[in-house]
Amino acid sequence: MSFTLETPLAEAVGASTAKTLERAFGMGTVGELLGHYPRRYADRGELTPILELPVGETVTIVAEVLSTRPRQMRNRRGAMLEVIIGDGVGQMSLTFFAKNLGQAEWRAKELRVGRRGIFSGKVSQFRDTVQFAHPDYQLFEDSEAAYRQADALQDVPIPIYPATSAMQSWQIAKVIVAVLDQLGEVPDPLPEDLRRREGLLTAAEALQSIHRPHRRADVDPAVRTLRMHEALVLQTALLQQRNLVRSLIAQPRPAHAGGLLEQFDAKLPYTLTADQQRVGAEIADDLLLERPMNRLIQGEVGSGKTLVALRAMLQVAESGGQAALIAPTEVLAAQHLRSITKMLGPDLAPQVIPTLLTGQMSAPERRKAALRVASGQSLLVIGTHALLSEKTTFADLALVVVDEQHRFGVEQREMLRAKGTAPHAIVLTATPIPRTVAMTVFGDLDTSVIRSMPAGRAGISTFVAPLAEHPEWFQRVWERSAEEIALGRQVFTVCAAIDTAEDSVESDDAPPPDVEGKGPRWGVVQLEQLLATHPRLGGVRRAILHGKMPADEKDATMRAFARGEIDLLVATTVIEVGVDVPNASTMVIMDADRFGVSQLHQLRGRVGRGEFPGLCLLVTEAEGGSIARERVEAVAATLDGFELAEVDLELRGEGDVLGAAQAGAKSSLRLLRVVKDAGLIAHARDIAADILKDDPMLVKHPGLRVAIAGRVSEADRAALSKN
């Protein structure tokens, strides 16, 4: 029996293993299993006697388990397992950390005394004993086979796979080899003439070589081939999406003399910036076309993206069309309703009836709002994921505005668009996107950029408070905050957790890789307790805000802060986007090294929005010279979000910036690197454009059509999510 890439895993590897792979990695087919590439290779030729192991280097050894000792840890949560292994001459220890004693005992049963295997890891030294911490290993069936197998495979690289506690690298390798042995024909995404011209392997050869290379030299051609596959598949899919939207028939929505848009512009108390005027003109022109607009608007925090979007909403409202703005949080949706209603003023607001629709509203409120939307009475609808509900219907949805695109997927955008007849779409992001990332991720959208800031902003100064070198600066942070409050201004403080005692980290973003495993020092609960005893801040009007509070309580707190009734707000990143309090002058970010560059930039943008200069204090215990510290210092060094986006790529790597390679989540970017492979991506886009020009439905390119169906879902294209 032979398998195809579409064969269900349960059929290929058995129901139990398939269930484990699906739970651990989201895999469902043979193609998805074979797309789980090794993250590195260990050289069996590096087999080294234990007594000669070089500290600090990654090596591979063959050894026997001599003893195991699982135990609960005393000074921190969790358990550990210490294993002593030997090669007949020397001995060393292996250390494994586990969430609980049961996990440690489970591994001890696997690594029972007398078992032999290959162990690979980075050599460290503890109390004069060499050790591996959490090594990769593969156990052999019996001791005689261990040496026989090691000798036979001396020069064959060992693939090391991204793994989980439920599925070790060796187990994944074993399953993949078994599937490769029965793999039938593999359709090639590349036309034969293109493959030969580019000097690439066939798809079948590439899969065999990346998963079981006979020598190191086999890996690079396989990687080069599969990178081109990824680039071509993704770019073709994005161009198909773009072409699909452009093929739809949309109703033109022109602005009329004396209409809502003209009335709104006439009442504006300020002049639009040059960038706002330019992007507004691009949108106005798009709305005149008989195909749907599909435009991404990038703009710095506070650059006026919402104003540009509101003008587009008014233009479609002139012909009775409805506009829906979807925001990622209840707090932001409520803020949008208030700011839009205020911008419209008492004359225009009654004509369009801005309506809020969120999941946390009471049932009677939600029914009333939904009725206004369904009847067409409300022409401006603002909401959260509740807008995606099947129960939410529109009379004439003409424009979809997605705020903070990185919090939503393409799939959600299209779900909202499906509630209208080919509606126009605007996607807003305050997270500046490097050109190569935009080309890779938002290739189905036209892009506009707002760089200039509105006049009247006082600007922001950013400073790092490096507690590792200057612990005394901690007190100065709070003295400085008290000074601002004494001047009648307000202060944000942001923590990465609600309560560190419960380890309740609250952020949509995973911490950067260099802080993984370290808990934040400060939570909202702990910081509020500290500030309550501070001689100058203990008596000021303080409040807390975090995601676990009821929606009405969160909204009431933000309203009170906006009205100036709260001096100091202790919050999580729930205030990251869109919150506009012109009187807030100071932002204190605790454990700043736990946040990514773009998130720090977003948080900083909450201050300096009015007449008072903004002050941002980045409090960190990260050591000087560390990547975590470099990240924080990079934010302090510039206010240019586009420059910071490039820095973010350099410091974190595009895998993290794109939200790729997270356990349990599929990603279309497996081998492709958007910075290093920018030229390849552009080349692939040109090839994809040529292919689709001649063969829009890919009838003549069945391999490419199959690859797109198997590899690129709507969710995969939303690669900037969790950034």
SS (H, E, C) 512-581: CHHHCCCCCCCEHHHHHHHHHCCCCCCCCCEEEECCCCCHHHHHHHHHHHHCCCCCEEEECHHHCCCCCC
**Are 522 and 601 a contacting pair, CB within 8 Å?**
no
Separation between Cα atoms, residue 600 and residue 631, nearest integer Å:
9
Taking residues 119-135, report their average pLDDT.
80
What average pLDDT is seen over the chain?
84
Between 658 and 596, where is the model more confident? 596
The fraction of the chain above a pLDDT of 90, given in percent, is: 45
Q: Are 46 and 59 in contact (CB under 8 A)?
A: yes
Q: Looking at residue 469, what is its pLDDT?
A: 92
pLDDT of residue 168: 72
pLDDT at 666: 38
* Per-residue pLDDT, 332: 82
| pLDDT top residue among 57 and 688 | 688
The total number of residues written for the chain in this structure = 723
In a 3-state reduction of DSSP, which class is residue 462? strand
3-state SS class at 234: helix
Is the pLDDT score of 508 beyond 60? no
pLDDT value of position 98: 84
> Which tokens in the block code for residue 374?
């369904």
- State pLDDT tens for residues 435-492: 666 666 666 778 888 887 777 666 789 999 999 999 999 999 999 999 999 999 999 9
Nearest-5° Cα angle at 528, 522 to 532: 135
**What pLDDT, in 10s, does the model give residues 94-109?**
988 888 898 889 999 9
Asked if 687 contacts 238 with a C-beta cutoff of 8 angstroms, the reply is no
Residues 619-657: pLDDT tens digits?
A: 999 888 888 898 899 999 988 777 787 777 666 554 433
pLDDT at 171: 83
Higher pLDDT, 509 or 434: 434
Q: 287-336: per-residue pLDDT in tens? A: 999 999 989 898 877 788 889 999 999 999 999 999 999 988 887 888 89
Q: Are 632 and 464 in contact (CB under 8 A)?
A: yes
All CATH 2.40.50.140 domain ranges of the chain, comma separated, are 44-156
pLDDT tens readout for residues 328-357: 888 788 889 998 999 999 999 999 999 999
The CATH class of 460-638 is: alpha beta
pTM (2 d.p.): 0.62
The DSSP element (H or E) to which 402 belongs, if any, is strand 397-403
Question: Where residue 409 falls among pLDDT bands split at 50, 70, 90?
Answer: low
Question: What percent of the chain has a predicted confidence (pLDDT) above 70?
Answer: 85
For the chain, counts of helices (H) and of strands (E): 25, 21
Q: What pLDDT score does 673 carry?
A: 73
Distance of CA 180 to the CA centre of its chain: 32
How buried is 272 (Cβ within 10 angstroms: 0-12 exposed, 13-18 middle, 19+ buried)? middle
The arithmetic mean of pLDDT across residues 606-628, rounded, is 88
682 vs 121 pLDDT, higher one: 682
pLDDT at 317: 96
Please state, in angstroms and as integers, the Cα–Cα distance from residue 427 to each residue in 333, 413, 414, 442, 452, following that order.
15, 9, 12, 10, 19
In this prediction, residues 255-276 reach a mean pLDDT of 92
Average pLDDT over residues 78-85: 91
Question: Rounded to 5 degrees, what are φ and ψ at 320?
Answer: 85, 5
> For the residues of 603-655, what is the DSSP string, one character each?
HHTTSS-SSSPEEEEEEE-PPTTSHHHHHHHHHHH---HHHHHHHHHHHH-HH
**Distance of alpha carbon 524 from alpha carbon 509, whole angstroms:** 18
What CATH number matches the domain at 260-287+304-429, 3.30.360.10, 1.20.210.10, 3.90.950.20, 3.40.50.300?
A: 3.40.50.300
Residue 510, pLDDT above cutoff 80: no
Burial of 674 (0-12, 13-18, 19+ CB in 10 A): buried
> For residue 456, what is the DSSP state?
T
Q: Where in the chain is the domain with CATH 3.40.50.300?
A: 260-287+304-429, 460-638
Nearest to 401 by CA among 378, 374, 382, 418: 382
Domain over 44-156 is classified CATH 2.40.50.140: yes
